[in-house]
Structure 1
Amino acid sequence: MVGIPGRSEGCTTCRRRKVRCDLAKPSCQRCTSSQRQCEGYEKYPVFINRGQQGLQKRKRLEEARPAQSRHTEMIAPAVTSPHKQPSMASSPPCRYLLEDQCISVFWDGFSARSVTDSRPASDPAWLHHILNISSPVDTLRQTLLSLAYTRLGRLNDDPAAVLRGQQVYGQALKTMQQALYDPHWSRHDETLAAARCMVLYESFESTSESMTSWFNQIGGVAQIIELRGPQNHRRPLQRTILESMRYNVMIACTMRRKDSFFAQHQWLTEPWRDDIKNLEQRYIDQGFVLASMLERSDALSQRNSCDEFSTRRAVVDILRRLLDGLSNLQALSQELAEVEAQYARSKPAGYNVKELCTPQTGEVTIAVASATIMALELSYATLAAALVSRYTSKLQLDHDDSSILAGIRPYLDQSRRLTLSRQLLQDLETCLEGRNLDFTRGRLILPLNVVRWELREYPEDSAKIGELFDFATAKGKYRIARSVLKAGTSPLPDIVLNAKK
């Protein structure tokens, strides 16, 4: 009806009925004579505010634009050439509407919950709490926008949106640097939230071919958390960010073989003083123990001392800690098996319980939790086997030391490790077949890297692992997984690389 007098300019009632309007003011006489209520001459509302509670009531706007069909078209005004004439999207209120809609679409794709799937699931709680912040500061808003633009751009093959996301991310980095030098903002919750979003951005859009930028972001957020202190991470936003970052820090520490302050007693207990630590956070604790033992084993292999007593004490102490960790992981594995059996009894036949998130496993599915526990157990066993192979035949062990060695030997059995590795491979296939790949990918870096090493001598299994890496990096361009693959054996300690086959 564009350009048709009486129709394109008529009252809302006539335009909706697609009839000619007499344009009488303040009310259309055509509506009045037919005993209809004239709705006036405002234009149709177009934009829909989609918030955390779903679709919100539409509000009337002074101007209207046609609805657009693709997600990336909603952000098109933000990436238009600066030489073009300014449009309505350049005004602040409408620009924010478009940005909010873009962030909302990103959230719908990234979160594990789906309105079309009745299976229970858990959203990434840290991001849920961040998106609930009203009127976020510029740094946080820019970081969320950079995530939304780049993810939607990648998924919809829209280079303009990706470029816009990269530009916004550069701006966010600058404002973040300013915030970190400010005594107030360096400890502010929204600064922590923005830094956490930057870690997610680097995992998808890694700005270097290696893991360097990702590691640097993780280290930066860890410093912010340490500066704030363990007692300042008890509220929902703070603690969910802390919990999600603990997994990332654990991955970085094990790959770089460095100890972390997260392994200290106060950081293992204080944030959960008023609540229960779920199974996921408890196996992450074991990951920090592993990182500490990897660092100590590196120091041991580089030691030039000929003092047999000190060497024996160091080796035995590491083996004792590894044995305790293996026992704890076995207990966690048994607890997870009981959780899986409990839910399996309550679900119909054919239901894949492994894709289920539970209160016990937190935000991860049973399959992801199982894969991570097995990966940690294999890492413990690999390090223990290397230590036993290199040192125990050369050192004189007393009775107590021999009992530790006897307790750890069953975990080192090659056939047991092979069985565990192939079971891990099956769980990884289940994880990557799940309905929310974006949310799951970040949790599979450690298991993929561990199983790649354990099954390196089995061509058929190695081929499957290669396919899983390809699948993890495909479509969504999850670049950090490719960087892990390129890292090869560099995350492994020398003592493992040089161990007897």
Structure 2
Amino acid sequence: MVGVAGRSKGCNTCRRRRVKCDEAKPQCYRCIKAGFECLGYERATQWRHTSVNPHPTSRLHMPEFMGLTQPAHMSFAPTPQLSLVAFAADMCTAHMFRNFVWKSYGTLWLDRAAEGKLGILSLDAVKALARLNFGLSNRVQDLKLQGVALYGKCLRVLAEELGKDGSAVHDNRTLMVPILVLLMVSAIQADKTAAVFHLKAIGKVLMLCGPEAFQQQPLRNAFEAARSTLLVASLFARRRTFLEDPYWQDVPYALDPSMKPQQSYLLDIFVTIPGFLEESGRINSLTHLDDELIDPSIVLDEQLGRRADLCRNVAAQLEKLYRWRWSWQRMYGQYVTITKREWQSSLSPKTSDSTSNLADTGHLLFSRPVYADDITLYNAALMWLMTLIWKLQPYQAASIIRGCARCAAASSTSPCNSPTLSSNDISFEPLSWPGAALSIREPAIEICRIFDWQCRHHEQHGSFGDQTCMYLFPMGMARAVLDSDPDYQRWIDSMLDLNPITTGYGRGGGSIVGFSSFVTKCALDADVRGSEDIM
């Protein structure tokens, strides 16, 4: 038997009987033959003290020292210096800037306000927004109440500042920033009364300060945010805005016109639309005159004449929009590409419609998010102008749209504007040509195709520092146009639901700023499609 000398490896029964074991497994034959129960070979571990030296009693074990040697209670709670309360402001602010819609809307000025570089009121307004947003999102009642309290404090200070004489407000041009932030607070609280107050405050500060006050950053970006906000409000109210004056379009960039972004040029066109809506409402009101002394034929003639004049003004803006599209394509068209794989996924609609057949196209790719934002806003303006033309002159709308496209193409490729380029030298693929569509469905579908890229690259907006003031607005218009197609609605919902910030946008019904009320059947299904050559 190989092993430790002097130690038996027999079964436990043979060891107790003090007989030699044959060590058979699992039971030894000796126990079986003798009629004993074989208890196996497992040994219980025994611990033995092998020291032969005496162990003197330690003084620490004496009664007078026992209290000192008892284990002390240990607390794993952070010290007051490391309490999370000290980091609450940082956590709330970081959570606020995770909202890429807010971050792109408040590029430069929201960051400066959070750093306290635009005054105490701006800093307190950002704190109110950050705490209230974090408290509502994470159900932290204390932070929510802190945000509400700060919001009330900011409102009182703002009311005092706006109550001063005009010269004092003119000097404090940074009031624009806290007003914009407080408007965002009222939006997450769904407080319409406060929102109206803030919109009026924005208009008052702009009128008192003038565009010269916003020629430097970050206030120039704050001006663009204010302009887009008032634009949306004016579209909803169908009232002309003072911002359509060229004075407000040129002066903010007078010091350096090259710094004017492409979306600002689009807003220059967009701000004319509320005036068109107001004039359209006045024309329609002529049919409701109750004066029996007025000849109906005179009213009809006046109505037709004013419709024609208004349509010419709308067409002028449409031609301007098409010229912008040609200019943009020359400068940035190379930054838009397309994948070779099939664009349609299981979430995208599949249709056999010749004007909407997307089966042979691919995923759009953009080098920077701002390029995608430019084209979506262009398509939003395009849908508004085309819708108005179809509503004002339904029988001549197709020829008017094609005429605007031809004039824009001719002026954009003329020798004086592009001495080395002709219309054949510029390719708009994979996007649509200016004037290629007569129906507003095509711009709506292109917005969806672009958002298919945007919804997967939201995080890139903070990487380039580009401002986008109307990020989701075009998508809301596209949803309104494609409302009757359940496949497109499911596709839109699937893209919006990829991010919790955009999920559910526009799903509650209705339309963006009442756009659907102007859409006619002709605008959705034009008799003549845009496949006809416009050149």
Decide: shared fold, TM above 0.5: yes
CA pair 135-290 structure 1, distance change in 2 beyond 3 A: closer
SS at match of 1:436: helix
Distance 1:419 1:200 in 2: 33
The residue number in structure 1 matching 2:313 is: 321
Alignment pair present for 1:284 and 2:296? no
The residue number in structure 2 matching 1:396 is: none
Correspondences of 1:395-414 after superposition (within 5 Å) = 407=403
Distance 1:308 1:405 in 2: 25
The residue number in structure 2 matching 1:426 is: 449
Unaligned runs of 5+ in 1: 1-62, 76-98, 115-120, 358-364, 394-400
Bigger Rg, structure 1 or 2: 2
Q: Is the 8 A contact 2:235 2:513 kept in 1?
A: no
The residue number in structure 1 matching 2:236 is: 255
Aligned pair count? 380
> Residue deviations 1:17-56, cap 9 Å, x none?
xxxxxxxxxxxxxxxxxxxxxxxxxxxxxxxxxxxxxxxx
Which of 380, 383, 399 is the matching residue for 1:375? 380
Distance 1:435 1:405 in 2: 34
Distance 2:163 2:322 in 1: 45
SS at match of 2:514: coil
Unaligned runs of 5+ in 2: 1-78, 290-297, 338-361, 407-433, 525-535
CA pair 293-344 structure 1, distance change in 2 beyond 3 A: closer
Q: Is the 8 A contact 1:421 1:451 kept in 2?
A: yes
Superposition deviation, residue 459 in structure 1: 1.5
The residue number in structure 2 matching 1:207 is: 191
Distance 1:111 1:262 in 2: 27
> Residue deviations 1:359-418, cap 9 Å, x none?
xxxxxx2112211110110111111111113xx69xxxxxxx998587269999976432
> Residue deviations 1:136-161, cap 9 Å, x none?
23x32221101111233345453432
> Residue deviations 1:46-97, cap 9 Å, x none?
xxxxxxxxxxxxxxxxx961264xxx8722xxxxxxxxxxxxxxxxxxxxxx
SS at match of 1:492: helix
Q: Is the 8 A contact 1:421 1:454 kept in 2?
A: yes
Superposition deviation, residue 260 in structure 1: 0.6
Segment drifting more, 324-333 vs 153-162: 153-162
Percent of aligned positions with the same letter in both sequences?
13
Aligned CA-pair RMSD: 4.1
Superposition deviation, residue 454 in structure 1: 1.4
> Residue deviations 1:306-338, cap 9 Å, x none?
434432332122211221222222232333334
Which of 134, 143, 164 is the matching residue for 2:125? 143
Distance 2:367 2:199 in 1: 28
Distance 1:415 1:352 in 2: 22
Q: Which amino acid is 2:81 matched to?
A: R
CA pair 412-273 structure 1, distance change in 2 beyond 3 A: closer
Q: Is the 8 A contact 1:140 1:194 kept in 2?
A: yes
Q: Which amino acid is 1:316 matched to?
A: A
Correspondences of 1:154-169 after superposition (within 5 Å) = 154-169=136-151
CA pair 228-409 structure 1, distance change in 2 beyond 3 A: closer
Q: Is the 8 A contact 1:319 1:404 kept in 2?
A: no
Distance 1:325 1:207 in 2: 35
The TM-score with structure 2 as length reference comes to: 0.61
CA pair 245-436 structure 1, distance change in 2 beyond 3 A: farther
Segment drifting more, 197-206 vs 366-375: 197-206
Alignment pair present for 1:74 and 2:66? no
Distance 2:458 2:518 in 1: 39
Superposition deviation, residue 494 in structure 1: 5.4
CA pair 321-267 structure 1, distance change in 2 beyond 3 A: same
Alignment pair present for 1:235 and 2:216? yes
The TM-score with structure 1 as length reference comes to: 0.64
Alignment pair present for 1:356 and 2:372? no
The residue number in structure 1 matching 2:174 is: 190
Q: Is the 8 A contact 2:380 2:474 kept in 1?
A: yes
Which of 320, 335, 342 is the matching residue for 2:327? 335
Distance 1:344 1:367 in 2: 9
The residue number in structure 2 matching 1:117 is: none
Q: Is the 8 A contact 2:366 2:372 kept in 1?
A: yes
The residue number in structure 1 matching 2:359 is: none
CA pair 235-441 structure 1, distance change in 2 beyond 3 A: closer
The residue number in structure 2 matching 1:387 is: 392
Q: Is the 8 A contact 1:147 1:201 kept in 2?
A: yes
CA pair 158-441 structure 1, distance change in 2 beyond 3 A: farther
Segment drifting more, 421-430 vs 306-315: 306-315
Q: Which amino acid is 1:66 matched to?
A: L
